[in-house]
Amino acid sequence: MVKIIPTVEKMQEHAESLRGDGWRIACVPTMGFLHDGHLSLMRIAKRRADVLVVSVFVNPAQFGPEEDFETYPRNLERDLELCAKEDVDIVFTPKTGALYSDDYQSYVKLEHLPHHLCGLSRPVFFTGVATVVCKLFNIVRPHIAVFGEKDYQQLLVIRRMVQDLNFNTEIIGAPIVREKDGLAMSSRNAYLTPDQRPAALTLYRSLVQARKRVETGERDAARILKEVRDLITAQPETDIDYLSICDPETLIDVERIDRPALMALAVKVGKTRLIDNTILPVSSPGSRSV
Q: Give 253-279 pLDDT, tens digit per residue.
A: 999 999 999 999 999 999 999 999 999
Q: Superfamily for 187-280?
A: Pantoate-beta-alanine ligase, C-terminal domain (3.30.1300.10)
10 Å Cβ neighbour count for 188?
A: 16
Distance CA 38, CA 148 (A): 8
The pTM of the full predicted model, rounded to 2 decimals, is 0.95
The residues of the chain that CATH labels 3.40.50.620 are: 3-174
* AA letter at 124: V
Average pLDDT, rounded, for the chain: 96
Residues belonging to the active site? 38
Average pLDDT on 83-94 reads 98
Give the architecture-level CATH label for domain 3-174: 3-Layer(aba) Sandwich (3.40)
User: Can you give the pLDDT at residue 20?
Assistant: 98
95 CB-near residues (< 8 Å, 6+ apart): 6
Average pLDDT on 43-66 reads 97
Is residue 39 a contact partner of residue 105, using CB atoms and an 8 Å limit? no
User: Can you give the pLDDT at residue 290?
Assistant: 55
The residues of the chain that CATH labels 3.30.1300.10 are: 187-280
Q: What percent of the chain has pLDDT over 90?
A: 96
Pairing of strands 261-269, 90-92: unpaired
Is residue 143 a contact partner of residue 169, using CB atoms and an 8 Å limit? yes
User: Can you give the pLDDT at residue 61?
Assistant: 98
Is residue 218 a contact partner of residue 245, using CB atoms and an 8 Å limit? no
